[in-house]
Amino acid sequence: MSTPNGRFISFEGIDGSGKSTQAKHLAASLKAEGYEVILTREPGGSPGAEEIRALVLQGETDRWSAETEILLFTAARRDHMERTILPALAAGKIVICDRFADSTRMYQGLSRGDLRALVDQLHSLMIGREPDLTLLFDMDPDISHTRAVERDSIDSRFEDFGAGLQKAMRTGFLDLAASAPERFRIIDAARDIDAIAVDTLSTIKAHLG
Ligand code: ADP
Ligand code: TYD
């Protein structure tokens, strides 16, 4: 997959950390300033990947083996890249993606044994690209989990992880950020929505130059 001209930005963090709320704010603010912006999300973001979304996020927790689940998330991502992300980047747009491969590294890589190496292998084989910038929305999982559960969505297959796993994922995301400091910016997500939105916009503007 070649390097296009636009800017590819992903939002990451545990469930309920405010990614979707902030992604919408940021897209609106950038559009108001005249930027061409695509707001998209994973799993999903293209018609085929949205179909896979229903397969992976609905139903019983043991619906898929851990390995099949990684294949499904990667298949959805490949379709999303081909049909939505790469064409938008090639047209010079800013792509804001609510979750990307770091979510697979954390959720599928940590939740059912240590499958991180398999996630990374499939990623390099089938996706082969990281975002230009990743904002990590970091906060205490006890608070974000309450927010996520209150939303009462049908896409809830991953939302009843225990507190221990939520904490491990928070730590895992922070470790990922530390291992790729040029790509990651950490946002303190335990503040009010407006304060986080100001911080998010200024972080992106600094990146855009
Ligand atoms: P995510 O996409 O990370 O799962 P959402 O943006 O969907 O998180 O937010 C989860 C819930 O918390 C939503 O009901 C949202 O309205 C609420 N919320 C988002 N940001 C904040 C915040 N900074 N303070 C309090 N509640 C928030
Ligand atoms: P999302 O709709 O972003 O949920 P939330 O708003 O609660 O963050 O994502 C749905 C779920 O999918 C979320 O619990 C994380 C999970 N997920 C994975 O397990 N692996 C992945 O690769 C992705 C992109 C998401």
pLDDT tens readout for residues 37-76: 999 999 999 999 999 999 999 999 899 999 999 999 999 9
CA distance 162 to 7: 35
pTM comes to: 0.96
Q: How many residues does the chain have?
A: 209
For residue 15 and ligand 1, the question of a CB distance below 6 A is answered with yes
Please write down the HEC assignment for all residues of 121-160. HHHHHHCCCCCCEEEEEECCHHHHHHHHHHCCCCCCCCCC
Cβ atoms 44, 176 nearer than 8 A: no
Residue of minimum CA distance from atom 22 in ligand 2: 104
What domains, with CATH codes, occur in the chain? 7-208 (3.40.50.300)
Q: What is the DSSP string of 56-68?
A: HHSS-TTSS-HHH
Residue with tokens 């790509």: 183
Measured in Å, residue 167 CA sits from the centre of ligand 2 at 16
- pLDDT of 152 reads 67
- pLDDT of 156 reads 72
Handedness of CA 192, 197, 200, 205 (dihedral sign): negative
Residue stretches of the chain with pLDDT short of 70:
1-4, 152, 159
Quick one: 163 exposed, middle or buried, by C-beta within 10 A (0-12, 13-18, 19+)?
Answer: exposed
